Amino acid sequence: MPAAALALALCGLLAACGGGKQTVRRTPPPAQPARVWPHVDPDNPVAANAVLMRAFSLVGTPYRYGGNTPEGGFDCSGLVNYVYRDMLALNLPRTSRDLAGYQGPRIDPLRLAAGDLVFFGSSGNVSHVGIYVGEGRFVHAPSSGGTVRLDRLDGPYWRDHYSGAKRILK
Run of H or E residues at 15: helix 2-18
Q: Catalytic residue at 161? A: no
Model-wide pTM > 0.75: yes
- Contact in structure between 56 and 64 (CB atoms under 8 Å): no
Can you name the residues that pair with 74 across neighbouring β-strands?
Answer: 63, 68
136-161 residue pLDDT tens: 999 999 988 899 999 999 999 999 99
d(C-alpha 57, C-alpha 49), whole Å: 12
Q: Is residue 55 predicted with pLDDT exceeding 90?
A: yes
Q: What is the dihedral of CA 73, 74, 75, 80, to 10 degrees?
A: 180
Dihedrals φ, ψ of 81, to 5°?
A: -60, -45
Q: Catalytic residue at 39? A: no
Say which of 11, 17, 128, 161 is annotated catalytic: 128
Q: What band does 28 get if pLDDT is binned at 50, 70 and 90?
A: low
Share of the chain above pLDDT 70, in %: 80
What pLDDT is attached to residue 14? 42
